[in-house]
A and B are shown apart, each in its own frame.
Chain A
Amino acid sequence: MENLLSLWRKGSVRSLIYQWGLVVAILLALFWVFDTASTNLDRLGINTGFGFLDDEAGFQISQTLFPYSAQSTYIDAILVTFTNTIVLSVIAIFLATFLGFFIAISRLSDNLLLRKIGSFYVEMFRNIPLLLQLFFWYFAALKLLPAKRESINLFDVAFLNIEGFVVPAPVFEDDANSILWAVVISLALAVGIWRWAKNRQIRTGEPFPSFFVGLGLVVLIPLIVAWLQDFPISWEIPKFGRFNFEGGIALQPEFTAMLFGLTLYNAAFIGEIIRAGILSVHKGQREAANSIGFTQMQIYSQIVVPQAMRLIIPPLTNQYLNLTKSTALAAALGYPDFFWALSGAISSQTGQVLELQAITLFGYLGISLFIAAIMAIYSRATRIPEK
């Protein structure tokens, strides 16, 4: 007894007992949960397994990037809607970051009126539920748009009407691959020059305009390649035919509403993140750079932004994750995204709720981990070594 008590008083022994206790408890709980689940499934006569994924889906999807028809399998349906989710997230992330940047600038402006308008925007959009904003765009605002025949004409290339947004479509000919290669090679070249210039500047102090040279390379090389091949990429501009638009890509109203809602809502948060990051750089840094003769441009690009980035990246990653997860609300508007397919269409047809839920959760978890990993690489690359 005395021995046992003294063993218990030893921290290392106690921590081992706690940890093994937790492991055993979790295993027991899992076992109990699976046991009840399997009895319940037997009782309800539900088959489990992923075999149903090879069956014919039998429903249409209104927006697809791959060839898909009602005869395709459930697997195809899942992949098509997963791409829709990704496309929506990527475009919304891009637009929201762009808008958020301008909101941050306007909130840091010298002009009091602009600052006030910026903060009004932020307070308004981030304090109203996203779903309400999506409903507003979809059921109220987009319904005010004119019919197809009276579409709002944007510079004769894009048209906005009640059935969606018609934009030009890129047309790739067979030789278009070479341009892609040219872009990749020139990007690699630009990165190489940037590294070489940085090393040389550290060694000798001699500056090199690597940004402009790199930009020139990335623009010029693909242009020259395209010119050599008589421009294999062109834009197909939509035209109103007899009853409908011909050519171009028609974005559905659901997609347009999602894009509006996600962009405006997340831009408010991103604007605040960028503003906080820039404000976090001490005023003395700017003054010191000014006093040793940096130009305004150099102060921002070499002093303020690199330091602000360290504070901006983690919350920005979080915001991108939030945006991606909130694309699941598209199901409320009927946009065929990943969540719509798994929780709506497929689950009501097959009844395989358990498997479909697992696919949903791991699909979104995969996206989240992917974004987190990319941002971790980026933040490692831009980190300033701590002293």
Chain B
Amino acid sequence: MEPILKPFKEQQAPPLQSSGFVVWLRSNFFSTWINSLMTIGLLWVIYQIGSFVINWGFIDAVWFGESAKACPNVHGACWAFVTDRWRLFVYGLYPSELRWRVDVFYGLGALTIAAFVFSFGPITKRLRLTMFIGFPIAAYILLVGGMVGLKYVTPEDFGGLLLTVVIAAVGIFASIPLGLILMLGRTSELKVISKVCAYYIEFWRGVPHIAVIVMFVALLPIFIPDGNKIDIVVRALIAFAAFNSAYMAEVFRGGLQSIPAGQFEASKAIGLSYWKMMGYIILPQAIRNSVPALVNTCISIFKETTIVLLIGFSDFLGIIQLSLEDPKWLGPPHIFSSAYVFAALIYFSFTFGMSKYSLRLENRTNVDH
């Protein structure tokens, strides 16, 4: 008797290889003839760009020199501009005998960041909280001084990378609590409060940041009683806190919306008041869910600090731009490109680090669910 089930096809030999380097190569680079062509074309482009970058940035580059005359070769980078001026770029006009204070500030900042990035040994939640609250206070005492025996330094002498970091840090540290309050207001059940917060948030999100900064710097003196003077740096910082808090509010609102309604209902069912429900149940989860978006907002705040150069501040980019216009260094465009490439590398190392951190957090929260 014949078997009822017959195989459709004769049995075939297994494929020669299903894993290994050759298979990986074939499936990723040479799967079809279009892919193969593309791979070869892209390799050629990468080779061209790579050799240009190596020639321009290393082989034909000038590393040390006093003025634009040191860099006659327009086909090579002029790093001499950077090596000659780097102290100005990093410290601005901060008095040179007090620069150790800036160094300590950078060190403390690095430690605070490290406490949030790494988790081992003595790093606990309590330590993180202490650093988060203590760092701004310590930074203020260190940089501005005028107390505990430290000489006073006016914020108008801040410059270069120091000013960039200070503006970004103030923007971030001030806008987080303000943003939380605004978010609570916007999601509140009280109609008037939620409308007021919503208009506030949408207003700041709808206008260009540079317009806001110009407005605060130019108009704030008109709106406060005569005789009070607000430092111009402080005015810019207030502007930064004002519009960034609106963005932070939206970040936290996104985190709040990710919380299932059952959490609210359960908290109400066991009789928690609004503040207890928010403080113990909802906000801890909402904040944790919004951390990746929060880090992304921090990246934009850091990049946005560059616009203060338009109101005449010498932040990192501003002081580089000023130095480029110095007659000693005024030269052909290759000095400009070298300076901008250097600035881009510095900004990139900050923002890329933050974006990698945010990606790590995102993956960690994804695993949780």
Contact = CB atoms under 8 A, between A and B. Distances in A.
A329 B192 contact: no
A110 B222 contact: no
B106 interface: no
A369 B38 CA distance: 43
Interface string A5-24: 00000000001001110110
Contact of B214 (A135, A343, A369): A343
A360 interface: yes
A329 B309 CA distance: 11
Contact of A332 (B29, B205, B310): B310
Contacts of A20: 192
B191 A19 contact: yes
A330 to B, nearest CB: 10
B297 interface: no
- Chain B: interface size category: 35 or more
A123 B226 contact: no
A220 interface: no
B208 A353 contact: no
Interface stretch (B86-94, B121-129, B171-179, B340-348): B340-348
B321 A112 contact: no
A357 B215 contact: yes
A33 B223 CA distance: 6
Interface in A319-373: 321, 325-329, 331-332, 339, 343, 353-354, 357, 360-361, 364-365, 368-369
Interface string B332-366: 01101100100110011001100100000000000
The residue in A114, A140, A339 that gathers the most chain B C-beta atoms within 10 A of its C-beta is: A140
- Chain A: interface size category: 35 or more
A364 B203 CA distance: 10
A43 B221 CA distance: 12
Nearest to A329: B210
B196 A364 contact: no
A15 B340 contact: no
B282 interface: no
A44 B334 CA distance: 48
A366 to B, nearest CB: 9
A19 B189 CA distance: 11
Contacts of B334: 140
Contacts of A44: 222
B303 interface: yes
The residue in B192, B334, B352 that gathers the most chain A C-beta atoms within 10 A of its C-beta is: B192
B224 interface: yes
A361 B42 contact: no
A123 B223 contact: no
B22 interface: no
Given A113-B42, A339-B211, A321 B303 contact: no
A357 B218 contact: yes
A28 interface: no
Contact of B333 (A40, A112, A143, A329): A143
Interface in B196-250: 196, 203, 205-211, 214-215, 218-219, 221-226
A244 interface: no
Contact of A18 (B190, B206, B351): B190
Given A114-B42, A339-B208, A368-B206, A140 B196 contact: no
B317 interface: yes
A321 B204 CA distance: 12
A354 B222 CA distance: 9
A23 B192 contact: yes
Contacts of B211: 328, 339, 343, 357, 360-361, 364
A117 interface: yes
Given A37-B223, A144-B333, A364-B207, A131 B35 contact: no
A43 B337 contact: no
Contacts of B226: 36, 39-40, 43
A354 B16 CA distance: 77
B307 interface: yes
B222 A326 contact: no
Contacts of B35: 110-111
Interface string B26-63: 00110110010011001100100000000000000000
A131 B340 CA distance: 11
Nearest to B40: A113
Given A41-B222, A353-B219, A329 B307 contact: yes
A111 B38 CA distance: 8
A78 B96 CA distance: 46
Contacts of A332: 309-310
B299 interface: yes
A117 B266 CA distance: 49
A261 to B, nearest CB: 12
B306 interface: yes
Nearest to A120: B46
A235 interface: no
Given A41-B222, A131-B317, A132-B317, A331 B207 contact: no
A18 B355 CA distance: 41
B193 interface: yes
6 contacts: A129-B317, A132-B340, A136-B340, A139-B336, A140-B340, A357-B219
A-B CB proximity, top 6 nearest:
A328-B208, A368-B206, A140-B337, A112-B28, A19-B192, A143-B333
Given A22-B192, A36-B226, A135-B340, 13 more contacts: A19-B191, A40-B222, A111-B39, A113-B46, A128-B303, A129-B304, A132-B306, A139-B336, A140-B337, A141-B337, A328-B211, A354-B219, A368-B205
Interface of B: 28-29, 31-32, 35, 38-39, 42-43, 46, 189-193, 196, 203, 205-211, 214-215, 218-219, 221-226, 299, 303-307, 309-310, 317, 321, 324, 333-334, 336-337, 340, 343-344, 347-348, 351-352, 355
Interface of A: 15, 18-20, 22-23, 26, 33, 36-37, 39-41, 43-44, 110-114, 117, 123-124, 127-133, 135-136, 139-141, 143-144, 321, 325-329, 331-332, 339, 343, 353-354, 357, 360-361, 364-365, 368-369
